[in-house]
Amino acid sequence: MHSPSFQIALRFLLAHKRSLGLSALGVIFGVGSFIAALAQTEGFEIFYINTVLGSEGSVVITDRFQQEHTQIQDANSSKTVMIASEQHRKYYPGISDAYRMIKVLDTYKEVVACSPITEGRAFLRSGFSSEAISLQGIDLDLHLRTTDLGKQVTKGSMDDFRDDQNGACVGASLAERMRLVAGQNIYITGPGNESRRFRIDVIYETGVWDFDIKNVFVHMRTAQSLLQEPYYTSFMLVKLRNPSRAPEMAAEFEDLLSHSSASWQQRQAGNLAIFDALRISAGIVVSMIILLSGFGIFNVLSLSVMQRTKEIAILRSMGYQRTDIAAIFLWQGACVALVGIVFGWGLGALLTYIISIIPVNFRGILRTDYFIVEWSPIHYILAAVLAVLAVFIASYVPARRAAKLEPIETLRGTGQ
């Protein structure tokens, strides 16, 4: 930089290097903390969303409903009259022809795969302990294409489950509570009090405690027999290429198939709101550090204006314009902001890495042994924008005050 205003700003800056250094340190710590806080809160949110999509699909299609209108075609005309029904919509549980529906959904380019599931309440017994479970019968090949169950295996083998019609996949949370191991025999009792023996071929872990504690997977035909629901499908999972389009696709599926359809955003609205609140609150708290640093910069630059009124007057008498004087103090703020942002980015990356290797034992909504972080350039950009805004506001008032000083009054001793 060969700008005279910039060179003078550097000289003024060095005269208050201790005070401005402390302010820059506040900006560094604020930027670093802001990045680390967003990385942590967004990391858990993305982990939860990916787990939900990998376990429950982008869209869930459930009960069939009665149309609210009737189509009447005139025999002598090609016109069709739609008559709306004044009755409340009636719902019929389940899906009557799931595989025919899958053929229809496969015509959509946005649809990757579909998985029909037969679900019912049952009891799992091992030894003297018993737990209420959600028994889910799956078509294994379709389910592996639609969900991440194949990647969630922690013990056992999916090949063993494929070849075993009396095999079962048990969640890690349930296995931990009941002290179950792969290869062990268990008994599942259906709604008709019929009890059957199953072998645990797979123990899986999605990362969501509530899912892993209740869902036990068996083969579709086996579940339909035990639940006394032959050829019945409770609901169907749909995997989309772009999960963000789930709401509009769910609405389209509902109109087309006359079955209730819910996107993952709709089903998880409550939990997503919690993550949004945590991210906003964390951002507000750490942003206060940057704002407090801005007050420090404001005080230092205001003091600099008061101490250098004669130098400012001399510069004005030499031909410097008001904008040149203001630029001197704005350049000082810019230098502090630049140092704070660059070193703050480094501190943020370091803090994010340290957080990611801290061992924990979360067994609540999520199951994880380490803090989950999200490395995103957006966090660094947001931190930089916040720092620039805070420092600019803190520098603008002193710069504006310096630009308003009148050189003649100052040299006569009447200026501030």
| 40 closest CA partner among 387, 346, 354, 347 | 354
The number of beta carbons lying within 10 Å of the beta carbon of residue 52 is 22
In eight-state DSSP terms, residue 366 is B
What is the Cα–Cα distance from 188 to 196, expressed in whole angstroms? Answer: 6
Q: 3-state class of 352 per DSSP?
A: helix
Distances (CA, A) of 76 to 71, 79, 120, 123: 15, 9, 50, 60
pLDDT, mean of residues 361-383: 81
Q: What percent of the chain has pLDDT over 70?
A: 78
Judge whether residue 50 has pLDDT over 90: no
189 contacts 195 by C-beta, under 8 angstroms: yes
Q: Which residue has the higher pLDDT, 118 or 284?
A: 118
Average pLDDT score, the chain: 82
Any idea which residue has 């169907």 for tokens?
236
Sequence-distant (≥ 6) Cβ neighbours of residue 363 within 8 angstroms: 173, 209
Q: Is the pLDDT confidence value at 270 over 90?
A: no
- pLDDT-derived band at 9, boundaries 50, 70, 90: low
Does the structure show a pLDDT above 90 at 235?
Answer: yes
- CB contact at 8 A, 208 and 50: no
* One-character DSSP codes across 203-229: EE--SBHHHHTTEEEEEHHHHHHHTT-
Instruction: Give the separation between CA 81 and CA 368, rounded to whole angstroms.
Output: 57
Inter-CA distances, 396 with 201, 291, 339, Å? 68, 14, 18
Name residues whose C-beta falls within 8 Å of residue 123's C-beta, 6 or more positions apart in sequence.
Answer: 130, 131, 132, 133, 188, 189
For 202-230, what is each residue's pLDDT tens digit? Answer: 999 988 888 899 999 999 999 999 998 87
What are the Cα distances from residue 270, in Å, to 13, 239, 248, 276, 303? 50, 21, 19, 10, 50
CA-CA distance, 30 to 36, in Å (whole number)?
10
- Domains with residue ranges and CATH for the chain: 4-53+271-411 (no CATH), 114-233 (2.40.40)
Confidence category of residue 91, pLDDT binned at 50, 70, 90: confident
pLDDT of residue 2: 55
User: pLDDT at position 307, please?
Assistant: 58
CA distances from 28 to 15, 22, 51, 117, 279 (A): 21, 10, 34, 52, 20
The pTM for the full model equals 0.73
Task: Using pLDDT thresholds of 50, 70 and 90, give the confidence band for residue 354.
Answer: very high
Range 344-370 average pLDDT: 83
pLDDT single digits (tens) 129-180: 899 999 999 999 999 999 999 999 999 999 999 999 999 999 999 999 999 9
Backbone angles phi, psi at 367, to 5 degrees: -110, 120
- pLDDT category at 311 given cuts 50, 70, 90 is low
